[in-house]
Amino acid sequence: MAVDSAIEVMFYAPLQETMEKIVAAENCEIVQLDGDAETLKATIKKKVPVAEMLKVPPIVDYPAEEGCFLRGNDYSPVAVVVLLNAPYGTLPPEVQSIPPEIEKLVRVPIETGAALSGTLQTENIGIEKIICNVVGNPNVRYLVLCGEEVAGHQAGSAVKALLVNGINEERTIIGSQAVTPYLFNISLEAIERFRKQVTLVDLIGEMDPQVLLKAVWSCYQEEPTAFKEHMLRDPGAYCETGIATRLTGRVAHPEAVEGWELDDVVKKIEAEEGDMPVKEVADKARVGKRVEGKEAIEPGLLSLLKKRLIKVSEELADIAKLLPEEAEAALAPVPEVEEEVKVA
């Protein structure tokens, strides 16, 4: 009997128990039973085979990278990233220093059954750490992104752009509006694996723990479950083993790398990797292109300079907020001093 087909069988009522045993032995089920005390009519269908959900252990040293996150159920299909919208460097790494509302958003997914849940501030090393930890656990198939966008860094939109577009030859996230969305310290293999392994559940701007709880719960259901515009279910582990990778540390401060330095930085990285040829990339962002005998700056470089100036302006504003008295003193006008001029 085919899975989608059904048959109807008439039999004497006293034989019901015997009929049920025969149906079960044939891996079928009675979906409808009608009749009276003497005669019964059974509608019988083949049982739909239930695929066994594959779960695998993560890599030995999972999670590979340390950070501000909590570890939950290693066999859960979902990891949660909570955007931390605070001036970078103003918070120490201890979990208790995080604002209470953010700490709750981090804790709720773990209590609900997530594999990992933590914060993200930066659009470079912060994202690289997430990639390392996710690709080390093939069971993680969803990345729930929530919290208010990080001003200046635009870390949330950088994650979205990475999953949609990937990176270019300069290891820059394509389509990101962040200032320095550079992924210098992680292998191309890990980046591509991350993009294939997880599906994004975009909740940027969401600060309600109950909404986050529902998102996590929906991700590990066996049957497709509606959540906002998504249909979520646990698809089981990714089809390849986990990747054991850590940050290389080749570029400790990607935020300090200027746009016109990218070619040289990337060439050095590719040469150190050894498994791919060094690309001959032209110097596209150099000052020195001559137009009608004058030094000219390319439009791309002007854009990078603009972004850099905006970042510096935001950092100065953050410092002014943290040190109001010192900032006011520093900005106070210098009193004029009248000098006595002697005439000889």
Tokens of 229: 């515009």
Query: Please, what's the largest Cα pairwise distance for the chain?
Result: 137
| CA-CA-CA-CA dihedral for 19, 24, 29, 32, to nearest 10 | 20
- Say if residues 164 and 175 touch (Cβ distance below 8 Å): yes
CA distance 129 to 249: 12
pLDDT at site 294: 41
Q: pLDDT 10s per residue in the chain (344 long)?
A: 666 678 888 888 888 888 888 888 888 888 788 888 888 988 888 876 655 679 999 999 999 999 999 999 999 999 999 999 876 555 544 444 688 999 999 999 999 999 999 999 999 999 999 999 999 999 999 999 999 999 989 999 999 999 999 999 999 999 999 999 999 999 999 999 999 999 999 999 999 999 999 999 999 999 999 999 899 999 999 999 999 999 988 888 888 888 878 888 888 877 776 544 334 333 333 333 333 334 444 444 555 556 666 666 777 776 666 665 554 555 555 455 444 444 44
pLDDT at site 278: 32
CA distance 323 to 329: 10
Q: How many C-beta atoms surround the C-beta of residue 212 within 10 A?
A: 26
pLDDT at site 316: 73
Closest alpha carbon to 214 in 223, 205, 204, 201: 201
Domain ranges of the chain: 6-46, 69-232, 289-323
pLDDT at site 344: 43
DSSP single-letter state for residue 106: H
